[in-house]
Amino acid sequence: MRKGTPSPCPLCDAEPISATHLPDKDAYQIECRRCGKFSISGTLYSSRGIPNALRPWLSAYTRQGHEHGRPTEMLLSSNIETLGQEMEKISPKDRVEKLLQSLIKQTSHVGAPVEFSAQWDYPLATAHNSQEAMFHVGELKKKGLIEFFNMTHLLVTHDGWAHGNPAPLPMASPSKSDDESTTGKKEWDVFICHASEDKTEVVEPLAVALKGEGFAVWYDRSELTIGDSLRQKIDDGLIKSRFGIVVISPKFFAKKWPGLELDGLVQKEISGEKVILPVWHNVSHADVSRYSLPLAGKVAGSTSQGIPPLVQELIRAIRSTANATGGAVLSAQMEPNAKHPVLPANLEPDTTMFRKLDHMASEKTVRELLNQKIYTKQFRLEDDHFLVDLIDEFQRIENCYLDDELRKESEKLVKKLVALLNIVRRTFFSVGDGRLKFYPDPIDSKHYDAEWTELVKAIDSAWTEYKTYRMTVKERLRV
- Which residues are known catalytic residues? 261
| Residues 410 and 398 sit within 8 Å (Cβ to Cβ) | yes
Helices 344-360 and 381-397 cross at an angle (nearest 10°) of 170
Q: Which residues contact 418 (CB under 8 A, 6 or more apart)?
A: 391
Q: Helix, strand, or coil here: 347?
A: helix
CA distance readout (Å), 240 to 186, 214, 221: 5, 17, 12
27, burial (CB in 10 Å: exposed 0-12, middle 13-18, buried 19+): buried
For residues 33 and 28, what is the distance between their CA atoms, to the nearest angstrom?
A: 16
For residues 172 and 178, what is the distance between their CA atoms, to the nearest angstrom?
A: 11
For residues 119 and 134, what is the distance between their CA atoms, to the nearest angstrom?
A: 10
Task: Report the run of H or E that residue 41 belongs to, with start and end.
Answer: strand 36-41
| Residues 243 and 277 sit within 8 Å (Cβ to Cβ) | yes
Identity of the amino acid at 341: P
Q: Helix, strand, or coil here: 295?
A: helix
How far, in whole angstroms, is CA 12 from its chain's centroid? Answer: 26
Give the length of the chain: 479
For residues 291 and 287, what is the distance between their CA atoms, to the nearest angstrom?
A: 7
Count of C-beta atoms within a 10 Å radius of residue 347 = 16
Task: Report the run of H or E that residue 290 belongs to, with start and end.
Answer: helix 285-291
| Residues 368 and 386 sit within 8 Å (Cβ to Cβ) | no
